[in-house]
Amino acid sequence: MVNTEKTEIKSRVFFLTDILIVLSIFCLANYIKFRIFIPQGSYLGLFIMFLLYWVFFSLYYKKYKEIIHRPFWFAWRLIFWSTVLSFFFITLTVSIANLWSVSRVFIIIVTLCITAFETVFLLLYKIVQHAVKPNYISTKQDKKHLPSGVFHLRWLIPGALLIFGIYFTFIWFRTGIIIYKPWNEQALLVLLSSWGLSTILTRRYTAPTHQNAFYEIAPYIKAGLLMLLFIGVFYFFLRLDSLSRTIIFSTSVMHSALEIPIFFLYFFGGNLSENKRKILPDTENINILGQEPLNIKTDIQPDEKLRFKQKLTSIFQRIYLPYKNELYHFLSKHLPIEKAEKDEMRLFNTVSLINVQILKNKSISLLINLYKLNNIRRLNVYLLTCYNKISPGGLIVGCFEPLEMIRNRLRSEMPRFLFIMLYPFHFIFYRVFPKLPGTKQLYFILTKGEKRVLSKAEVFGRLSFCGYQLIKEKIFGDKLYFICEKIKTVSPEEYPSYHPIVRLKRIGLNGEMITIFKFRTMHPYSEFIQKEIYDEYHLDSFGKMRNDYRLTQWGKILRRCFIDELPQIYNWLKGDLKLVGVRALSEQYFSLYPKDMQKLRIKSKPGLVPPYYADTPQSFDEIVESERKYLKQKHEHPIKTDLIYFFRAIINIVFRGARSQ
């Protein structure tokens, strides 16, 4: 905690120092040009714009924090990219706004001076840091945690220079001269913007890692098509003249026509060194959702069972519930006695976290809260606070009113026609508003976090996310009571499926974890209980989870219409997926496959259109065999196989009603 606070203080100091550098250099440059320190007129607008872009991209790359822990070369890389993007967007804004009174040389000089000062400041800081703490930064460890998909300058810079070269060549052929004019600048900026956006989306110019040259060249083909699309959009909104339009489109087509064959020959020629190829991972031990089992002690005294029942009886004598006796028998029957010692039980009926926070960490073996979770605003914070107070292997008992019972209760309180009219508004307010960034704050202000609509899948998913495992559940009255055990670590997942568009971890090419995007068709946090549902119900004849209560009603409609798959087009553009290929699977589902199929699957990139739409298998085993057949044919005839399976899948989907279950 102390180190975190020091890092925050240092990053704020660096931020203020950087702002001071930008302010000083800009004002000094303004004085040299106009003999006045404070910018005026269009240069005042330029200064505000300059500062906003500089701060935005600096915070986006987190350079003020990374300077502290990263080595010089890595921190300078962040400075470089934030500077390049700031300079580009400043120039683009000035050009589109027709601020021709602003000197482009002035912008270049100010940008270079600020970058030089930042570089010197970074170098001095690293020298002092190394002198004070020589082993504070481990370069070897830092490289190990580098983000994947980093652009390589040795490919990025030639791509950019090729754009410039082709563009000015076309200008010379069309006009006979190369003179700096307003339309030259606008056309070039539009071209660079389209090139940059297509590069970011498709991740071209990143390090090659695949043995298949077709996988490596696919991003360059997609990027070329996207460049034409973006240029068309810019042309429509900016209304460029016909000469600019012709030169821009010609430059884009020529750039792709040269770049694609060059890179294809590079990758096809086998220049990918062996040490850069991905090593296939070990599929024997898959760590589900990054959670590890806890070290649990199971020592118990012979008379512990009697003590436990006495303690539980004394606790229930002090409470009043209509179904108190039934709940007592449920707990005494299903609570693991060896995990709930006599002097480590606590019973609450509270929404306040303070009553839990005052307990010592890992001091409780059984925590019971009779207050329903629907009225607890920060549900994960509550569960994690309890997690800290419960010892490994300890138990938590809680309750909530599930979504299905809330709907039935509302239906019983009003006539059917009125329920049909009002329930959509109830759904939007209680289930849609809390999940949207713009309306979430309004929802919690109005409701204060009370009467939340919680599905069974969401609550159990949150419990699993927070390190618990469900032991038993049962409904008493209008509440569902659960018994959970603290058995694993808290999930490190940063983006649980809570918003309308969800990020799901899937196994991709070479066994690497990829993040795919989908419209949410399951209740929030459903991915964290996939293993539990499989262990309880197993698969049906179609290879799907039997009795899968995680799927929502609207989710079934989205799946039948393939709407839920639309965000994966972004994954296809990035190159995580290809058009035809085996479905990208979660770790749990992947672990159900035979070992030989696991190794065969990760040798091929997953796809948007899986082969079972072409073969229409009727069981899980048939799905496995369908994929095995496809992958073997794909290895022998890659393009032919994908074309055959694609058109067969389209025919089955359009004319025979093949749908995702």
**What are 437-475's pLDDT values in tens digits?**
778 878 888 888 788 889 999 999 999 999 999 999 999
Query: Helices 42-60 & 72-96, crossing angle to 10 degrees?
Result: 140
275 pLDDT band, cuts 50/70/90, is: very low
Give the pLDDT confidence score for residue 111 in this predicted structure. Answer: 93
* CA–CA–CA angle 138, 143, 146 (5° rounding): 130
Q: Same structural domain for residues 516 and 601?
A: yes
Cα separation, 257 vs 220, whole angstroms: 10
Asked, for residue 282, whether it belongs to a domain, the answer is no
Cα separation, 195 vs 230, whole angstroms: 9
In the predicted structure, residue 587 carries a pLDDT above the cut 80: yes
538 Rama sector, left if φ>0, alpha if ψ -120 to 50, beta otherwise: left
Among 111, 146, 181, the domain boundary falls at: 146
Q: Same structural domain for residues 28 and 75?
A: yes
Mean pLDDT on 511-531: 88
In the predicted structure, residue 3 carries a pLDDT above the cut 60: no
In the predicted structure, residue 613 carries a pLDDT above the cut 70: yes
Domain count, the chain: 4
Cα separation, 348 vs 459, whole angstroms: 19
Percent of the chain at pLDDT above 70?
85
Q: Same structural domain for residues 337 and 210?
A: no
Mean pLDDT on 343-367: 85
H or E segment to which residue 369 belongs: strand 364-369
In the predicted structure, residue 140 carries a pLDDT above the cut 60: no
Give the pLDDT confidence score for residue 27 in this predicted structure. Answer: 93
Give the pLDDT confidence score for residue 145 in this predicted structure. Answer: 44
Q: What is the DSSP string of 208-235?
A: P--S-HHHHHHHHHHHHHHHHHHHHHHH
Asked, for residue 75, whether it belongs to a domain, the answer is yes
Q: Same structural domain for residues 129 and 206?
A: no
> Which of 292-296, 333-337, 522-526 has the highest mean predicted lDDT (pLDDT)?
522-526
606 by DSSP, 3-state: which?
A: coil
Give the pLDDT confidence score for residue 542 in this predicted structure. Answer: 55
Strands 468-476 and 479-486: antiparallel
Give Cα separations from 517 to 105, 497, 586 (angstroms).
43, 10, 13
- Please, which residues bridge with residue 51 across strands? none
- Average model confidence (pLDDT) for the chain? 82
Give Cα separations from 312 to 338, 364, 386, 479 (angstroms).
14, 14, 19, 20
209 pLDDT band, cuts 50/70/90, is: low
Q: Same structural domain for residues 482 and 510?
A: no
Q: Same structural domain for residues 455 and 529?
A: no
* pTM beyond 0.85: no
DSSP code, position 170: H
Structural domain for 272, as ranges: 155-277
CATH of the domain at 343: 3.40.50
Asked, for residue 648, whether it belongs to a domain, the answer is yes
Can you say whether the dihedral through the CA atoms of 300, 302, 307, 309 is positive or negative? positive
Cα separation, 379 vs 536, whole angstroms: 26
253 pLDDT band, cuts 50/70/90, is: very high
In the predicted structure, residue 277 carries a pLDDT above the cut 50: no
- Residues in Cβ contact with 318 at an 8 Å cutoff, skipping those fewer than 6 apart: 347
Cβ 76 vs Cβ 117: under 8 Å: no
Mean pLDDT on 205-219: 72
Q: In what order do the strands lie in the sheet with 390-400?
A: 345-348, 364-369, 390-400, 479-486, 468-476
Give the pLDDT confidence score for residue 334 in this predicted structure. Answer: 84
Mean pLDDT on 253-281: 68
Cα separation, 326 vs 592, whole angstroms: 39
Asked, for residue 40, whether it belongs to a domain, the answer is yes
List, for residues 8-43, the tens digit of each pLDDT value: 788 888 889 999 999 999 999 999 989 899 998 889
Q: Same structural domain for residues 97 and 186?
A: no
In the predicted structure, residue 113 carries a pLDDT above the cut 90: yes
Q: Same structural domain for residues 182 and 257?
A: yes
Give Cα separations from 551 to 10, 306, 330, 331, 436 (angstroms).
47, 43, 28, 29, 20
Among 259, 277, 295, the domain boundary falls at: 277
Among 371, 397, 551, residue whose Cα is nearest residue 481:
397
Q: Same structural domain for residues 117 and 204?
A: no
Quick one: three-class SS letters along 297-345?
Answer: CCCCCCCHHHHHHHHHHHHHCCCCCCCHHHHHHHHHHHCCHHHCCHHHE
Q: Same structural domain for residues 142 and 159?
A: no
Cα separation, 521 vs 552, whole angstroms: 6
Cα separation, 372 vs 363, whole angstroms: 23
52 pLDDT band, cuts 50/70/90, is: very high
Q: Same structural domain for residues 321 and 458?
A: yes
In the predicted structure, residue 73 carries a pLDDT above the cut 90: no
Among 486, 520, 536, the domain boundary falls at: 486
Residue 113 tokens, joined: 């001076």
Asked, for residue 254, whether it belongs to a domain, the answer is yes
Cα separation, 80 vs 316, whole angstroms: 65
List, for residues 384-414, the tens digit of each pLDDT value: 999 999 988 889 999 999 988 888 888 888 8
Asked, for residue 286, whether it belongs to a domain, the answer is no
Give the pLDDT confidence score for residue 313 in this predicted structure. Answer: 80
Q: Same structural domain for residues 341 and 367?
A: yes
Give the pLDDT confidence score for residue 469 in this predicted structure. Answer: 92
Asked, for residue 469, whether it belongs to a domain, the answer is yes
Give the pLDDT confidence score for residue 348 in this predicted structure. Answer: 87
Give the pLDDT confidence score for residue 139 in this predicted structure. Answer: 43
- Beta strands (DSSP E) in 96-169 are none
Give the pLDDT confidence score for residue 232 in this predicted structure. Answer: 85
* CA–CA–CA angle 222, 223, 228 (5° rounding): 100
1 by DSSP, 3-state: which?
A: coil
331 pLDDT band, cuts 50/70/90, is: confident
- Residues in Cβ contact with 322 at an 8 Å cutoff, skipping those fewer than 6 apart: 477
Asked, for residue 569, whether it belongs to a domain, the answer is yes
Q: What is the helix, strand, coil percentage profile of the chain, to 5? A: 60, 10, 30
- Please, which residues bridge with residue 585 across strands? 507
247 pLDDT band, cuts 50/70/90, is: confident
217 pLDDT band, cuts 50/70/90, is: confident
- Beta strands (DSSP E) in 459-613 are 468-476, 479-486, 501-507, 513-519, 578-580, 607-609
